[in-house]
Amino acid sequence: MTIANGKVVTIHYTLTDEDGATIDSSQGGEPLVYLHGASNIIPGLENALSGKNTGDALDVTIAPENAYGPHVPEMVQEVPRSAFEGVDSIEPGMSFQAAAEDGRSQRVVVTAVSDDTVTVDGNHPLAGKQLTFDVTVVDIRDASEEEVAHGHVH
């Protein structure tokens, strides 16, 4: 069976950054299962997997534009420490949910803390990074009507 929209695809993968450091891997654990064509994985990887078959292996490098997007400097903001009312200790690396300008919830990560301000970054941690995936296609099956309707694997 060939990977195409509406197929449930099972892959093992290792994700590395531009320096070759491993960011994530399914090796030694459960493979990733996703619904192809439903934007469940980054566009560059989904495009590279289209047309592949069970047992195929590929090594694909994906530019930021087809991964988590460019790093947007405007998404790094210095906010008053008072915005964290009720939080006793704030340290770099902590993440919080914040209201975005459009009203949706957005994850931000603390990058710096001073007496009066907290610097937060709303970019995805992998934004602006070129990513390399070493992938093996483990299985492909037809998605159920319910999976297609819901846009994800059950």
Q: What is the pTM of this model?
A: 0.83
pLDDT value, residue 104: 85
Mean pLDDT, each 10-residue run in order, the chain (154 residues): 97 96 96 97 98 98 97 95 89 89 87 94 95 98 96 94
In the chain, DSSP assigns E strands to: 7-16, 22-25, 32-35, 57-62, 76-80, 95-99, 105-113, 117-121, 131-142
Domains identified in the chain and CATH numbers = 7-68+126-150 (3.10.50.40), 73-121 (2.40.10.330)
Task: Read off the DSSP letter of residue 44.
Answer: H
Task: Read off the DSSP letter of residue 18.
Answer: T
